[in-house]
Structure formats: C-alpha cells, structure tokens
Structure 1
Amino acid sequence: MRPDRDARAMLPIPDRPAPGLTTYDAKDPDTAFAPIEPLLPPEGAPNVLIVLIDDAGFGAASVFGGPCRTPNAEKLAAGGLTYNRFHTTALCAPTRAAMLSGRNHHSVGMGSITETATSAPGNSSLRPNTKAPLAMTLKLNGYSTAQFGKCHEVPVWQSSPMGPFDAWPSVGGGFETFYGFIGGENNQWDPSLYDGTTPVEPPASPEEGYHLTEDLADHAVTWIRTQKALMPDKPFFVYFAPGATHAPHHVPKEWADKYAGEFADGWDVQRERTFARQKELGVIPADAELTPRHAEIPAWDDMPDDLKPVLEREMEVYAGFMEHTDHHVGRVIDAIEDLGILDDTIIYYIIGDNGASAEGTVNGAFNEMANFNGMAALETPEFMRAKMDEFGSPSSYNHYAVGWAWAMDTPFQWTKQVASHWGGTRNGTVVHWPAGFSERGGLRTQFTHCIDVAPTILEAAGLPEPTMVNGVLQSPIEGTSMLYTFEDADADERHDLQYFEMFANRGVYYKGWSAVTKHRTPWVMVGGDLPAFDDDVWELYDGSTDYSQARNLAAEQPDKLHELQRLWLIEAVKYNVLPLDDRGAERLNPDIAGRPSLIRGKSQLFFPGMGRLSENSVVNIKNKSFSVTAEVVVPEGGAEGVIIAQGGRFGGWTLYAKDGRARFVYNVLGIQEFPTGAESPIPAGTHQVRMEFAYDGGGLAKGGAVTLYYDGDQVGAGRVGATQAMVFSADETTDIGYESGTPVASDYTTKASRFTGRINWVQIDLGDDDHDHFIDPDERMRIAMARQ
C-alpha cells in the first residue's frame, strides 16, 4: 500500500492501495508487494530554520546599522540576502500566528494578544481549522518538525496544564517536538518550561550558569543532530523563537559590560549614529530621512542628570542581551554547518516580531512589576542607582526606557504596538540558502510581510498549498511567496497590498504608498480620552521617494489619501478587522469580552501536585480579604515545605512550614517581605492549617491583618504592610505542595520547597470586600499590554 505522493493537496496524503493479485500463500513466487517507503517531501526539499527574535527594532542589530553587535546575523547576510522592507504586525502573538499560518493575523483570530481576546472572529485568539499552520503541512508531507522557545498563541483559557492542547505547538501546531514556554514573556534565569505539554524544571540554576537562551539552543542543537543521525533523508523544520530580547532584559554581566560607556551620549545621538551607519551599510536608501522625535518621547538632554547613568546601563544590558542571543543563534547555525547541510537549509533570521518595546516607561524599570502595580514611584532615581549593578541579573526584572526603544527603531517613527508606522512593523530580515540562490550579500527592497514566509517555504520545498487538511477544506494562504526575489533583485514586487491594525493604530500599503493613523500611544495607557475613530488624523507617504515615512503628503494629495483610506476599509472588511476595538478593561473581563474563563465563583479547590497555574487560572485575591485552608497530614517529627505559593521572587505570597511551624509570607515586588509565623509546630497527624487575611480596605494595595489557625485554634498573628494591586508576575505561577520558578520567601529555595508531609487539599476563599472598583479601567489594559 503506497501513498500517492501526487495527492499532496489533501493532507494527510490518502493511502490508496493499488489493485493486483492477492496470493493465498506468502511463499507463492507470484507474491509481490511494493516495499514500504517512508513519507518524504519532493526531492530537493530544503531543511528550514526560522529564527524569530522578540521585541527588536529595525535599528537595533548591527547587521542593520544598530549598536548591538550581531556577528552571526552579519555572517548570514554576507552569504545571503538582506530584506529592508520586511514587515510584522506590530505585536508578538499576532505576528507569530500570521507567520506560522501564512494568513493575516485577524484571519487567524489573533487581532491582538490572547489576554485581550473577544468573541469577534478577528480577535478570538482561536485559529480556524480552515487555516492549518505551516508546521502541520510540512509534517504531513514528511518533514521532521520542532519548536524551541516562546509560544504566545494559546488562548488564555486553554493555557493551564489541563489544556485543551489544540493550540499548543506539539498538538495542534504541527510540531512533533516543543521545548519552551507558553505566554508573552519569561524569566530568563528561572523560566517556567514545558516539554511538549508536560511542565519541566530548568536543568540548572542561575548560580550554576543557567540561562534560557542557552538552554533552548542546547535543545535545538541536540534535536538537529539527532534528527540527522537517525533520519538523514528527511528534511527538518526548526522554529527557534528564544523569547529574547523581550523584557526582562536578563543577560550575564560580562555581556552587558562589553558596552560600558557606549551609550553615554543618549538616545538622540544614538539615532543619528545608527542612521549614518545604516546609510554606510546601504541597508537604507541614500536619500532616506531620519524622522524627528515626537513630543511624547522626552529628549535625552531633558532627562534628570542623576538618572542618566541608570539609563545608560539599561541600554548596555539590552545590547549585551541581543549580542548574547545572536551568539546562541550562531551555535544552532554552526551545528547545521558542522553536519554539512548548511547549503541545503533555508534560514530566515527575522530580527524582531515587532518594533522595539516602549512598554518600559519613560525612565525604564528595575522591576517592571512595580509599574504594573501602580508603584513605579518606589523606583526613585536613588533606588535605581543603588540597583544599577544588578540590572540584567537574577535579582532584577528590568526594562529600558521609551527613548531607547525609539532609538532602536531608527530611522522610523514610533515603536511596538504602533501598527500604523514602520517603527512598529518594519523588521530587518536575513535569508540564507546557498543552494537556493546564487547572489551573496545582496539587498532586497521589495515589500514583504511575515505572512509571506509560509508560502515561500512551501514553494522552496516543491509542495502545493493544501486544499484539505485533516478532513477540513482550507481557505487560501494570504501571503505571497518571496521566492521570486531570490534570483532577481529588480523583480517587481508581488505583495503590493497590505493592511495593518493593532488597537486601532492602522494603516494600509499599496504599490509604494502608505496611509496611516496612530490612535493610541503605547506608553500612555492611563488618562486622556481616545479620539473617535473617525476623528483620527491620517497621514500619507510616498514610499517610492520616502523610505522612512518622513514627509506627510496628506495636505498636498487629499484624493490619494481618501483612496487609500477607502482601500484600508475594504481590506478590513475582507480580513475580519472590523469592528475596531480600543476598549480597555472590558476586553480583560471574560464575561464582557465573550471568551471562556477557567475561574468560577469565590472559592477554588486545589489538590497536591497541581502546579504551573497562571494568574488567569487562579481566583484573584488582590485588594480583598481572603483565606487559605489546607488539610495536611504531618509525620512524626514535623513537616517542612510549601503548602501553596503564588508568584515568586518579584512578588507573591506563600503558606508553608518552616521548622515544623506554619508560616505565611507576603512579598511586595521583591522589595519587602511581611512574614507571620505560628507559635507552635503543626501537630503530627491530619490537621487543618488556615490563614486568614483581613484586608484594610480604603483603596488599592493596602495592607491587612494575618491570622494563622490549626484546626480552628489561633496559633499566630501578624500584619502585611502593603500588597500588590494588579499582578504578581507575568511568568511565575501557583503551585501546590512545592514551588516552581523563583521562591516567594527568602528562607527557602525552590529545590527544597517540596512539602515533606502529605496534602489532602487546599482551598482559597474570597471575602466580600472587593476593592477592584478603585482600579481605573485603562490601568488594567495597560498592564495586560505591557505583559505580552
């Protein structure tokens, strides 16, 4: 029974047995069957490696004139092609969903991030089964497939360890292997990791030299070598998405120290230097103009002098982070070269899934969780200077200032989230495939987009776009193959129409022209009224003479602007962009937004072994009274370890046993711990341990009284001086009977956190004194956005 390899438009390829003689005895000399052949793509199909860097602007990497040294990207560019008009969606999850499907982000339900999904088709965060991902198509055609790193495309109500896993990479995503994390960002020193759908712990600690990017590269190298050792005839598809250089900017100190003193002149001067270098390299046209700084972005000279050393260090850490990331990308590429298959591997090195992130506030942050909780005032210049040497270390959760993000998007306007302007959507990209094109070190200037990657790979592999996958009729791929540009630098561009939209920042590109309007500023999420959509001011640019969108022609050519505005609306209708949605808190409330929620009511029951529960998976105890009750079985001699913990080093709470006694600790931002201990040990046998927290009320982030009980008898009391109003962590979780990630309390370690008795159950009950009504609706939206 031999599969019909010509039926590749229907996947899986139908097994169609050929009619013929069936003998009675296998020893009959007329007995003959065709040998079993492994499923392979057409002869000559290349290996594929897609590298996607996170939160990196066009002007960050040295390969595109930036200050962050990226020798491996430069090496690929020297042997491949550089694309200076490649575009993303201005946000991470939408870019990833679009790139991996070959469809526009609203077409696959990812109009924004998963945390702000609504029931509108373009914003549901659910990829329709009529739009199968590239990895699935390649796997069903005989490719080996693997993803390493970040996946932010899982709907929030499906992101717990119970799934469902349809949107996870190793189930519905088409990747046979997945090693990485689910969500928008992760602690690079102490990440929450999954192997497939199974939670796993990092193989080493930060003190032992662990770093997530290195770990991901280790796994990718091992997988590639194993794949070629065992299946040398099968090509592979590897998607390497490390999560760097997204905040927190975590990197070994020696990498940041390489850049000491290089940013002392500030971001305005850095943009000028990068701009000059870009022209010298030829990655932007000689007549390109440097766009001016908008009023919302402070000038370097206007920043406080006592803060400037901190601002410098923020950028040194980021630059070291990017160079460190490029180094480990280079290890993956070197492994491919060592196997002798580099020539037969098509590599996409995409430097950024959107523009540089301006979510770090005007001053940057040592612990971005402080700003997320409305406590940025705690990070005074004096505090920041005292913490300078810790930036990038395991004790930090840092981000750089808005001005640096703007500088990293040189020569364009704006940043990540601003889909209207190239600063949010234009990302430098290198393609390397020695067997696929003859030119080395060439520049390609055709308009291209992340949805073009999937059709390019299919064409390079000689594979048809599938019309049926797993019994479901497929809608057409919406991207355009870039293969036509590989051998012809002067070929007329084929992707000549593309809409953009993100949180009502919107634009359209058509045959060189772009019409754009910015609706909201990323870092101004609280205060001020957003204009009505029809009151947004549109701009018009002629890309044939204005590479950087520097000269607004709206006043000179109103008819052309109107034509493109109408075209944007037509494309918006076609691809499920409408209705436009700039709501804040409403999109974060599942009931209003119309998406499912894992949480019901004011009580939640947990059992031992449960863990890796995101904040979306646990009842919200912030700004209210709550209690935690646990039934535990204590052995003779007492018990030690965590009963339940939420959060980690940078904020959270934990109920645990220390020296046999119950203990509760509330950790505020890693700055202050409020402990309450029991006066006596938990007796041997089965007992209930209970913690009651009585919130002071009167607003957000207030303190409260703590009381500890054994079997209803009070055994301890204390106070929490302050709490976190909005969020504990973007990546730390809730665990029962142990703690993953970093420890909430400083008097135990993650490795030693496992409870030595037995836990029967743990229950959280909320009080009726909910003070969430004090929270500005826009504040919730700002936090959700900053965490992606």
Structure 2
Amino acid sequence: MNKRRIFTLFQPLLIGMCLCAWPSATLIVSAQEAAQVDRTELPIKGPWYPPITTLDARDAKAPPVFEVKAPRGAPNVVVILLDDLGFGGTSATGSVMQTPHFDKLAKNGLLYNQFHTTALCSPTRQALITGRNHHSCNQAKISEVATSFPGATGMLPNDVATIAETLRLNGYSTAAYGKHHETAVWEISPSGPFARWPNYVGFDEFYGFMGGETNQWSPAVYHNLNRVETPEDPDYHFMNDMATKSIEWMRFQQALTPDKPFFVYFAPGAVHAPHHVPQSYIDKQAGNFDEGWDVIRQRIFEQQKALGVIPKDTKLAKKPDDIKDWADLSANEKKLYARQAEVFAAFLDMTDHETGRVIQAIEDMGELDNTLIFYIAGDNGTSAEGGMTGLYNEMTYFNGEPQGSDIDFMLKHYDDWGGPSTYPHMSAGWAVAFDSPFTWTKQVASNYGGTRNAMVVHWPERIKSTGEVRSQWHHVIDVAPTILEAAGLPQPRIVNGTPQRPIEGTSMVYTWDFPQAPSQHTTQYFEMFGNRGIYFDGWFAGTIHVKPWASPENRFPEDTWELYHVDEDFSMSTDLAKQHPEMLSKLQQAFLGEAVKYNVLPLDDRRQELFNPKIAGRPDLMFGRKSLTLYEGMNGLLENDFINVKNTSFEIVADVESGDEPSNGVIVAQGGRFGGWALHVKDGVPRYTYNYLGLEHSVAAGTAKLPNGKSTVKMDFAYDGGQKPGAGGTATLFVNGESVASTRIPKTEFSIFSADESAGVGIDMETTVSEEYDRASSKFTGTIGKVTITLK
C-alpha cells in the first residue's frame, strides 16, 4: 500500500490525537450561549467538532446535537393586519362600528394613535414584514402594476429578509394566514419561481390567497404551494376558514413543541372589497347608517375626543369637495348608500369576531400573557375606490362600465348586497367618514386619512401599563425592529449568504415604559401614485397629486404643496404653506433627498394602464406568445399566467372524447360569475358563453350532441373593434370543422376579468362563468386531449 493511501486512511487518527473530548448532551443555542453564538449571520452556524478517533461507538462519547432555539423568554408574536380600515374604523378610536376584540386588547394593552402605513396594501405589507421602506422592498405600488424601475419591480430583494425568516432561523415556528399580496404577479404560477412565495420568505406554513382581494365565498386559496379547492358549502366563508386554520396550526404547534415560540401573521382580506358577509351579520346593522355620512363622521369625531384618542382641541378637517352632502342626496341614493355601509360594518363585525377567536385560542392555550400581539386596524385608510356611488361589481370599475354604478340598477341588488351574487364596494363618502378626523382616504399618501391607522400592542408579561394611549409618531416599518428587540435578537447582517440592507425602522419598545418619551422616528417620506409628502419632527408637507376616484390634473412640477404643523394640528386641518414658505421649502427638499435615497424616483402616476405588462415593462409569462396549449387538469391559472384574449380575435381548439353517455362540464374557462368566458358542454351539446361583468350573457349553443368518440370543438371569436378596447365581436362554434352555432357579443371586458378568478381545463374553479352549471357539475365528464388557444 502506498504512503499516500496509508495517510488517507489514518488521517482522522493523526488529526485527532491532540483533540479533547466533549460532553454528551444536546447543544442548545439560547441566552446562556449568547456570547458564543453569532445571531447576526443566519442561519446560525453550528460548532466545529474534531474528527472522531475512536473505532467503536461503545467506547466513544457522542457529540452534542446542534439545535437552534430562540432566546430564553422570547415571546410568541402575532401580527394582525386588517385591510382597508381607516383611523375612525374601530370603536376604540371612536367609530360607530363595534370592534369588541380590538377594544379588549386596547383596554389591556396600549393604543397607538400616531401609527402610519403607506396608503396602499402591497407596500404596507412588505414594509411591515421587512422593517424597510416599501421602495427599498421594490414595492412602490401593488404587485399587479409593478414596473421595471428600481423600487417598483415588485420583486423583494435578497438583501431584504423578512421578520418571518429572521425568526424562523432563530428558532421560531412561523405561519401566515390570509392575504399575501407581496409576490410578483408573473411568479404566481405552477412554474414559479417560488423564491418570493410565503414558504420561501420565512413562513413554515401558509394558508391564504396571493392577490389583492378574493371572493370570500369562493376564494382562490393556496395551502403552501398548492391550490385548494374550497368546499361547495353555502355556509363557507374564507374569514371563518382562515381563522380556524390558524387556530388548528397553533394548537398543533404548541402540542408538539410547547417550548418553541410561534410567529403568526394573520392578515384577513377584510374589509377590502368585495364586501362579502353572512346575512346574520348584516341584519344586526339595520338602520345604523340611515343618518348618513356627515352626521356619522361628526359623531365619530366627537367620540374620538371623548375617548381621548385625539386631542380635545382637534378640528374636524373638511371633507373633499367631490363628496356630496348627505342632505343633497336623493331618497334612492340614501337608501343604497346606507345599505352599503351596513354591509361594510357587518364585514368588520365578522372580521373582528373571527380575529377574536384566534386571540381566545391563544388564551385558552395559556399563551396569551407571553404573546406579543400587534393588532393593526388597516393597511391604509378606508378605501374610496368604490367612487361616488359604490359598485355592484368592482370589476365594472376596472372595465369602465357605467351600469355597475347605476343607482337604480344597484338597488335591484339591495336585498342580496354582500351575498354571493354581488361583488360590492361602497361609496367614497363612507371612506371619508371612517377616516375621521382626516380629509382623505386610501391611496392618498400625502394625508393622514390615507396613512393613519389605529394599532394596539398587547403583551401582559412585559407591558405593565394597560388601557393607555401612546402618541409617539411611528410607521409600519417600526414593527419588525420592535419584534427583534422584544425577542432579544439582533438585526441580522447576513441572511442565507446575502449581506442585508440595514433595517430602516425604529423600535417602539421605548414607548412601553415611558409614555411621555419623545418620538424616536422623526423623519419619514410618503409616496403613492404621485401623492407624496414628508413628516419631519412635528411637521408634515405634502401634495395631493391625484384623487382616488379621478385622474391626475397636473404634471408633477405643477402640484400645490400643503404644510401642516401636525404636533399642534392632529387632523391636518389648517394649511400653513403661505405662513411658513421657508419651512415648506425645506421639507420639499428633504422629500427629494429621501426620494433619491430610497428609489422613489421617478414618480409614476399611472394606474389602470399599468395592468398591461407591455406598458408597465415588467416580465410576463406570455410575452411574444401567440398560442397556449393546455391539458386536462391544468387549472387555477390566474390572469397574469394566462394568454390575454382581451381586445383581439382568437380561437380555441379542443380535442375531446365522449362516451355512450352525453358529456357535461367545462372544456376550458376563464373568470367567473362577475366576468369571463367558458367553452362547455351541456347534455352532450357544446356551448360558448361570454359573461360580460355579470351583467349580460351571450351564448352560442349547438343543436346536436357531440358524436361518440373523439371530436374537435372549436370556437372562433372575430373581434370587430380594431384598436378600440372593449368592443364586441362574433363568436362562432364548430364541431369537426362544421359551424354549429354563432352569437353576437355586444361588448367585451378590455381590462380585467377578475382579481382572483382563475382559468383552466376541465373545471371552472371558484365561481362559475355560466349559471347552467355549478362548480361540482363543471367537472368535464368526458376526456380532454388538449386545448389550444391562439391569438389572431
């Protein structure tokens, strides 16, 4: 045997002769080992052990097992984030709508009355779970309108780790439930990439939806990476489902690993549109809003002063000029708008109730005292995206269809408003009321009505003050560093091999013991669709560039800026721009400095046009594609994953096979009850249905059954609009090359079929395009070979 071979065989013995033994025990990374463990580089590195030199395991001492555990005493953490609820939306902050579980936490914890968000959902959510400004997270706006500009790509950078990933790598179990509106839209498909899905940004468990909103009765739900087919149950509601799933997970986690802390991110899609809620909740609200938004806005304001959540000398800021006085409305308008508010309040009631179930489950497990809870009542101000009248079907707004906001038409749905046959939103007048005492609403980052949200922090084992208001100025980016300080964890320098951008938020822990301490978050920029502003040490300067219900009126240099001394003017009621031009100029320059620092520029006020990826310049799975071929079982494809058949001629060719019994069900479909199309078969007869926004169905129906065996079904759509979006056309149906039916389609949807309804072969998931079948009977009973959709 040569010398090199001998050395290789006995290398461990030679190396190990000088190495000492180790104790036989489990090695636990905890507070006692803090001096030896580097938690700033994640994953935490295990210790190096010398090679074993003993031949027989009976004669050797086993090395300790390396196991990462959270610091001793680290609390469970629960972050509850409601959707589209403004500062005047909870009863703890003066609302006429009751939120008893939010109130209970406030009574036993701390209520923050100067906590701020970004004015829109995706940006707030990324800022919340990372501790960085939303442009630092590449989330300038919602994911669906991402562009290719730095700060706006919709793609979370690798150097911005989430608080979930940091906690997971420090020994926490982590889970997210509800709305995850933080993944780039072109990455939400079975092809991935999955690097920015919840499971890959720090959550061991995920149960929820991946877009901005979902139908609460028939949601597009994912469990981790897999689509879930929700049950055909008339009593099913996603708010209840997600609460139940989170409770089950926490119980399981505590049963198996009671010493391991958990982190739960509980983010309902409520009270974002569509406002879907069981009738039993709606009935409780009957008559509560008949006085109208002016009276109720004033009442909320007075209750806010009485509760001490706003200073006694606060003035009620004027409402926007576009919002009519309630007294000037017609009887029909009053009736409809009151109903819209009843349904919204009912949705909030249900949301707070289901959230209360989650909190109660934590208490029942004996974990409430050592659970740090952040209950944030909204990711922005209340939404005014329903416009002046509200909407029967929110998709009518995106497609410029006026009938969806016609008063008489909407009144026909008065009794079923909020039920499965509607996809509703409410009038902007209510948004302003529920954002009291401020002027503006969601999307307006330059006014506290768009960014001020009530928040409760609750942790009995650590926070001894109860039922108190904290008035330090803070922002959503401050939650993550607060969690780290509370858990005794450092900000990581490196995560998964990538050096990290420093956290940009400020911990709020100092406020727990020192109620009069000065604010430590002293500078913060805001920007959304060109609405922009900056807070600096008690002053706020900003400009309203575009109203939520309108188009921009100015170019950016022409915008008029306002100035408020918010230390003395809580509601931003008195513009001081003319009195203090020098202060205004300084703050405008400060905004530009922050804008350059955080990739806010260039400003971009485009909205609906950015839903088109070609205009936006973002990646798209279908760029350059003229055809898409799918096979049976391929379904659950969201609109950004599917070939775009809007505003063009196209054809569908399907190879199917029928047996002795007539086939039934869907061959291929896209969308659902509130807009879409389906090539389907009824009692063996092929049909093509175009559903225009749930308002009108155009059907091309054959007259004969498909033959036994294999056949080819084709639908040819001849668009007659040229370059005009939303025009009509003719749909012609063929079987084995012969025309069997034709129909005129007067109008088509030019912008979007749905925010969450999907496309697929062999089934119509979520709600159904046609009323001739339900979801269960939409499953095709024959065999589908392949389906090819080709643009012309």
TM-score (norm 1): 0.94
1:186-335 equivalences in 2 (<5 Å): 186-205=214-233, 207=234, 209-335=235-361
Which residue of 667, 675, 683 maps to 1:659?
A: 683
Which letter maps to 2:385?
A: E
Partner of 1:784: none
What is the CA-CA distance between 1:677 and the residue it aligns to? 1.4
Q: Tell me the distance in 1 between the aligned counterparts of 2:55 and 2:627.
A: 67
Instruction: Report the Cα offset of residue 681 of structure 1.
Output: 1.2
Give CA-to-partner distance per residue, 1:704-724, whole Å, 9 cap, x none. Answer: 332211121122233334332
Q: Which moved more, 1:691-700 or 1:160-169?
A: 691-700
Q: Which amino acid aligns with 1:723?
A: T
Judge which range, 275-284 or 616-625, deviates more.
616-625
Give the deviation of 1:268 after TM superposition.
1.1
1:599-635, Cα deviation, whole Å (9 max, x unpaired) = 1333222221111112222222223322111011222
User: Structure 1: how far apart are the matches of 2:410 and 2:739?
Assistant: 41
Q: Tell me the equivalent position of 2:738.
A: 713
Q: Moved runs in structure 1, 4+ residues, more than 4 A?
A: 1-5
Q: What residue is the counterpart of 1:483 in the other structure?
A: 509
Q: Distance in 1 between matches of 2:52 and 2:712?
A: 74
- 1:700 deviates by 4.5
Does residue 410 in structure 1 map to residue 436 in structure 2? yes
State the SS of the aligned residue for 2:781.
coil
The Cα shift of 1:34 comes to 4.3
CA distance in 2, matches of 1:378, 1:582: 25
Is 1:683–2:683 an aligned residue pair?
A: no
1:82 to 111, 136, 151: 111
User: Match for residue 780 of structure 1?
Assistant: none
Segment drifting more, 11-20 vs 194-203: 11-20
Q: Does structure 2 retain, via aligned residues, the 8 Å contact 1:2–1:15? A: no
Structure 1: any 5+ residue segments left out of the alignment? 768-788
Instruction: Sort the Cα spacing of 1:721 and 1:586 in 2 relative to 1 into closer, same or farther, 3 A.
Output: closer
Match of 1:444 among 470, 473, 492: 470
Give aligned pairs, total: 759
Of 785, 788, 791, which aligns to 1:760?
Answer: 785
SS of equivalent to 1:239: strand
Q: Name 2:8's counterpart in structure 1.
A: none
Larger mean CA deviation between 280-289 and 397-406 belongs to: 280-289
- The equivalent position to 2:560 in structure 1, one of 537, 548, 553, is 537
Provide the residue aligned with 1:26 in structure 2: 57
Deviations 1:174-208 (A, max 9, x none): 00000000100000000010000100111342x1x
* 1:726 aligns with one of 751, 754, 757: 751
Give 1:45's aligned residue: 74
Deviation at residue 257 of structure 1 after TM alignment: 1.7
Q: Tell me if the contact between 2:143 and 2:182 (Cα under 8 Å) persists in the aligned partners.
A: yes
Supply the AA of the counterpart residue of 1:664: Y
Where does residue 430 of structure 1 map in the other structure?
456
Cα offset, 1:378, TM superposition: 5.1
Q: Name the counterpart of 1:622.
A: 646
Aligned match for 2:767, one of 742, 756, 759 = 742
Q: Deviations over 1:518-542 (max 9, x none)?
A: 11111013xxx53122221111111
1:593 — aligned with what?
616
Give 1:39 shift.
2.0
Matched, 1:64 2:93: yes
Query: Within 5 A, what are the aligned runs for 1:438-587?
Result: 438-525=464-551, 530-584=553-607, 587=610
Deviation at 1:254, TM superposition (A): 1.6
Q: Is the 8 A contact 2:764 2:779 kept in 1?
A: yes
- 2:628 is paired with a residue whose SS is strand
Change (3 A) 1:562 1:281: same
Q: 1:778 matched to which residue of 2?
A: none
Structure 1: distance between partners of 2:151 and 2:323: 32
Matched residues in 2 for 1:271 and 1:322: separation?
17
State the secondary structure of the residue aligned to 1:307: helix
Specify the structure having the higher radius of gyration (Cα). 2
| Cα distance per residue 1:314-363 (max 9 Å; x no partner) | 00000010011000000000000000010000000000000000000101
Q: Which residue of 2 aligns with 1:781?
A: none
Q: Distance in 2 between matches of 1:504 and 1:90?
A: 12
Q: Among 25, 42, 45, which residue is 1:14 paired with?
A: 45
| Comparing 529-538 and 410-419, the one that deviates more | 529-538
Distance 1:430 1:628 in 2: 53
* Sequence identity (%): 50
Query: 1:179 and 2:207 equivalent?
Result: yes
Distance 1:593 1:389 in 2: 40
* More deviation, 45-54/669-678: 669-678
Name which of structure 1's ranges 137-146 and 373-382 shifts more when overlaid on structure 2: 373-382
Separation in 1, partners of 2:66, 2:354: 37
Superposition deviation, residue 38 in structure 1: 3.5
Measured in 2, the distance between the counterparts of 1:744 and 1:93 equals 29
Tell me the amino acid that sits aligned with residue 506 of structure 2. Answer: T
Aligned to 1:135: 164
> SS of the residue aligned with 2:423?
coil
Q: Secondary structure at the match of 1:335?
A: helix
Equivalent pair of 1:161/1:199 in contact (CA under 8 Å): no
Structure 1 window deviating more from structure 2 (15-24 vs 261-270): it is 15-24
Indicate the SS of the match to 2:160.
Answer: coil
Could you tell me which amino acid in structure 2 is paired with residue 27 of structure 1?
R
CA contact (8 A) 2:27 2:67 kept: no
- Equivalent residue, structure 2, for 1:96: 125
Q: Secondary structure at the match of 1:293?
A: coil
Seen in structure 2, the aligned counterparts of structure 1 residues 742 and 588 have a Cα distance that, compared at 3 Å, is: closer
**Counterpart pick for 2:696 among 644, 656, 672:** 672
1:121 is paired with a residue of what secondary structure? Answer: coil
2-structure distance, mates of 1:431, 1:294: 32
CA contact (8 A) 1:642 1:739 kept: yes
Question: What is the alpha-carbon distance in structure 1 between the residues aligned to residue 117 and residue 88 of structure 2?
Answer: 15
Q: Contact (CA 8 Å) 2:442, 2:450: kept in 1 or not?
A: yes
1:164 is matched with which residue? Answer: 193
For residue 565 of structure 1, what is the amino acid of its counterpart?
A: Q
CA contact under 8 A between 1:645 and 1:744: conserved in structure 2?
Answer: yes
- CA shift in 2, pair 1:378/1:150, >3 Å: closer
Shift of residue 312, structure 1, vs aligned partner: 0.2
What is residue 17 of structure 2 aligned with on the other side?
none
1:603-618 equivalence runs, <5 A: 603-618=627-642
Using a 3 Å threshold, how does the CA distance of structure 1 residues 338 and 37 change in structure 2: closer, same or farther?
A: farther
Structure 1 residue 752: Cα displacement: 1.6
Number of the residue aligned with 1:782: none
Shift of 1:114: 1.2
C-alpha contact 2:28 2:67 (8 A) present in aligned 1: no
1:594 alignment partner AA: G
Q: Measure, in 1, the Cα distance between the counterparts of 2:790 and 2:159.
A: 42
Please give the root-mean-square deviation of Cα atoms over the aligned residues, in Å: 1.6
The DSSP-based 3-state class of the residue aligned with 2:196 is coil
Residue correspondence of structure 1 range 335-414 to structure 2 within 5 A: 335-377=361-403, 379-414=405-440
Which range is displaced more, 290-299 or 51-60? 290-299
Distance 1:484 1:136 in 2: 25
State the distance in 2 between where 1:592 and 1:524 align.
20
Q: Secondary structure at the match of 1:580?
A: coil
> Structure 2 counterpart of 1:284, which letter?
I
How big is each residue's C-alpha offset from its partner over 1:644-699, in whole Å with a ceiling of 9 and x where there is no partner?
Answer: 01110111110111101111111122232222211211112222110112234375
Whole-angstrom distance in 2 between the partners of 1:159 and 1:498: 32
How far the C-alpha of 1:2 sits from its partner, in A, is 4.4
- Counterpart of 1:435 in 2: which secondary structure? coil
